Chains A and B, each alone.
Chain A
């Protein structure tokens, strides 16, 4: 038998078994239970995909297995939840981060001039170090006497008390502007010093043509304006955000989480991962350590408690809608689908997962960035030799991966308890997904995530029905992974090395 017919026969066999299994389960469970289990499976699958998509993207291009991905998922949930429930912390920190960013963004403007400086080799080596130390000192001074916990804790108080009345009423008065302004200023100075240090003054091996600075000026200028604004409105902004329409506020939280994830990912890649590319094992350990650091930081700021983020109004009204139109009009919390009652927020998660999948496919197949990524997976050196800054592409891809994790986090936040360990299960399942789907394949990640989601949902259903241990559903995903690894070690959509 030639391999093509063999493949075809195996395909038909698997498809047949699959149809038989679905029909069997359908007949056994009945329509209502089948549909509602199907939708929980799709929901779980979407969540798994949101974690796996970033993992597989990063692994495919950079061979980096990011063990902090689950923590980044959790961080995305926290940031979005904070903005949605009580943005005091976000607005309290904004002047610091924006001012620092504005300083760092000056780099492309000053770099060509710094490189051109004629200074001795000794000074060339010493200058960046001195600048880094000074930057750190400025950073520390910016926070001296600033009670970061009170900013975070007011948020917590507000979040745990009911939303009746003004959650911000209990806020202690914030530092007056006359002394506060020094903090963002110091952060800006710290950013500037980092810009100087990272430009490596006098190092002529670098390449930075002196182009007109018009465009380069835009970014730091915009950030400075934002810094000034956020400094002025750091108290009132929280209130106006809370007065917003809940759905709009939720949409903004999603945007904020994604933006935060992107910037956070870029910073992590540049500062922690880039120096370690020559030592892949170190990267693994570093990301593992990073996940603990992130978790401890979150516990420090918000205590190791579990929070429940309320669902946005579109998914919150009690009552069951009979159609999608009715749901969108009334904002019902559940919807009737062929006799089964499905929470509307699950539909949102499923839609988010599918939208992310389409977005990833679009980026990978239709954009220049996707082309560079697919080429870089095979041969990053050749991509570099064609004149493309592969280092920068790595940064962007890592940032995109983290942004996807953060998007998954905020998407899941109204659905899952928000707590420091919320990302861990998804990290594990995401890894299993990537292994099943094939390392580096985003289509594989989607299919793998859906298979796992279904296994979990139907496993839970049967465990309940047949009074088996619920652990069986969790074990089923690992069993699937073992079967896939035994029959197709490269994963369902992976390519043989």
Chain B
């Protein structure tokens, strides 16, 4: 499936199986994330995309299979150890710390003293809003601002890989645009594994894709090939009707 040169992958998820309680959520998921790229995970709701990210970061450790990050097996290690190897995780639903101010949310993300001071200019350039809201508690932020903070938080320490879960979820179109710009800019320095339902956004950002369906990896390859393959898109991603409509509308406008 993959035409990548071995050794160039920053992250290799190799046939992992993950259980949550008694539920067999991931049955056979494999993902390759080449260094310096944006890879997107696609699939219906409940297909196992979020669980895959959580398995990588170690919050739901896989029972079987291997996860190799930067040449090192990380499956089964504790989440904080995995994160400290240089993986930033942006969870879905804008899980920022609501009781903490914007400043504290960012400060908390430091792994070494002074991380935030080093990166603050870069972060505020990407998300100028946050500078203005610096002292506000997290629960006073709007949904879009919370999402930006959630992404910004992962930028504070030096990360080699960012796992970003549905950054566009529930955002207004103009904010989606801003978020896309930010992610594109990030990808210049960091490798990104993205989960995204919004196919427009996914197709414009990512170079590679992986489709997960029912806990299994069913297809992976280059994004430019997938865009051509409307049958495949409809088969696996058809459930999100909005995406399909948007896609058709975009096709019309392009033609």
Whether the Cβ atoms of A374 and B100 lie closer than 8 Å is: yes
Instruction: Provide the residues of chain A in CB contact with B49, threshold 8 Å.
Output: none
Instruction: Provide the residues of chain B in CB contact with A371, threshold 8 Å.
Output: 100, 104, 107-108
Choice from B78, B81, B83, B104 contacting A386 with Cβ under 8 Å: B83
Whether, in the assembled complex, A268 has its beta carbon less than 8 Å from a beta carbon of chain B, the answer is no
Choice from B75, B80, B95, B104 contacting A384 with Cβ under 8 Å: B80
Contact A375 B100, CB 8 Å, known A385-B89, A387-B84: yes
Contact A207 B78, CB 8 Å, known A375-B97, A375-B99: yes
**Within the complex, what minimum Cβ distance (angstroms) separates A460 from chain B?**
38
Whether the Cβ atoms of A387 and B108 lie closer than 8 Å is: no
Whether, in the assembled complex, B48 has its beta carbon less than 8 Å from a beta carbon of chain A, the answer is no
Chain B residue nearest in CB terms to A389: B80
Instruction: Provide the residues of chain A in CB contact with B76, threshold 8 Å.
Output: 205
Chain A residue nearest in CB terms to B76: A205
Instruction: Provide the residues of chain B in CB contact with A383, threshold 8 Å.
Output: 108
Whether the Cβ atoms of A205 and B77 lie closer than 8 Å is: yes
A207 to B89, CA, bound (A): 19
Whether the Cβ atoms of B81 and A207 lie closer than 8 Å is: yes
**Within the complex, what minimum Cβ distance (angstroms) separates B179 from chain A?**
20
Whether, in the assembled complex, B98 has its beta carbon less than 8 Å from a beta carbon of chain A, the answer is yes
Chain A residue nearest in CB terms to B75: A205
Whether the Cβ atoms of B80 and A374 lie closer than 8 Å is: no
Interface Cβ pair total, 8 Å cutoff:
65
Instruction: Provide the residues of chain B in CB contact with A160, threshold 8 Å.
Output: none
Instruction: Provide the residues of chain A in CB contact with B77, threshold 8 Å.
Output: 205-207
Whether the Cβ atoms of B98 and A386 lie closer than 8 Å is: no
Whether, in the assembled complex, A251 has its beta carbon less than 8 Å from a beta carbon of chain B, the answer is no
Chain A residue nearest in CB terms to B163: A385
Interface residues of B in 137-193 (CB under 8 A from A): 153, 157
Instruction: Provide the residues of chain B in CB contact with A377, threshold 8 Å.
Output: 99
Whether, in the assembled complex, B111 has its beta carbon less than 8 Å from a beta carbon of chain A, the answer is yes
**Within the complex, what minimum Cβ distance (angstroms) separates A45 from chain B?**
26
**Within the complex, what minimum Cβ distance (angstroms) separates B18 from chain A?**
15
Whether, in the assembled complex, A130 has its beta carbon less than 8 Å from a beta carbon of chain B, the answer is no
**Within the complex, what minimum Cβ distance (angstroms) separates B225 from chain A?**
33
**Within the complex, what minimum Cβ distance (angstroms) separates A108 from chain B?**
14
Chain A residue nearest in CB terms to B101: A371
Instruction: Provide the residues of chain B in CB contact with A326, threshold 8 Å.
Output: none
Number of B residues with CB within 8 Å of any CB on chain A: 27
Contact A385 B57, CB 8 Å, known A207-B81, A371-B107, A371-B108: yes
**Within the complex, what minimum Cβ distance (angstroms) separates A208 from chain B?**
9
Whether the Cβ atoms of A385 and B59 lie closer than 8 Å is: yes
Choice from A207, A382, A387, A389 contacting B95 with Cβ under 8 Å: A382
Choice from B59, B80, B95 contacting A388 with Cβ under 8 Å: B80
Choice from B79, B84, B108, B157 contacting A372 with Cβ under 8 Å: B108
Whether, in the assembled complex, B109 has its beta carbon less than 8 Å from a beta carbon of chain A, the answer is yes
Interface string of B56-86 (1 = CB under 8 A from A): 0111000000000000000111111101100
Instruction: Provide the residues of chain B in CB contact with A316, threshold 8 Å.
Output: none
A374 to B107, CA, bound (A): 13
Chain B residue nearest in CB terms to A391: B78
Whether the Cβ atoms of B80 and A390 lie closer than 8 Å is: yes
**Within the complex, what minimum Cβ distance (angstroms) separates A156 from chain B?**
47
Whether, in the assembled complex, B34 has its beta carbon less than 8 Å from a beta carbon of chain A, the answer is no
Counting chain B CB atoms within 10 Å of each CB, the highest count among A372, A381, A390 belongs to A381
Instruction: Provide the residues of chain B in CB contact with A296, threshold 8 Å.
Output: none
Chain A residue nearest in CB terms to B97: A375
A368 to B105, CA, bound (A): 11
Chain A residue nearest in CB terms to B59: A381
11 pairs from A and B in contact (CB 8 Å cutoff): A205-B76, A368-B107, A371-B100, A374-B97, A375-B100, A375-B105, A377-B99, A382-B89, A384-B83, A385-B91, A386-B153
- By Cβ-Cβ distance, the 4 closest A-B pairs, closest first, are A387-B83, A205-B76, A207-B81, A375-B97
B residues neighboring A (CB under 8 Å): 57-59, 75-81, 83-84, 89, 91, 95, 97-100, 104-105, 107-109, 111, 153, 157
A residues neighboring B (CB under 8 Å): 205-207, 368, 371-372, 374-375, 377-379, 381-391
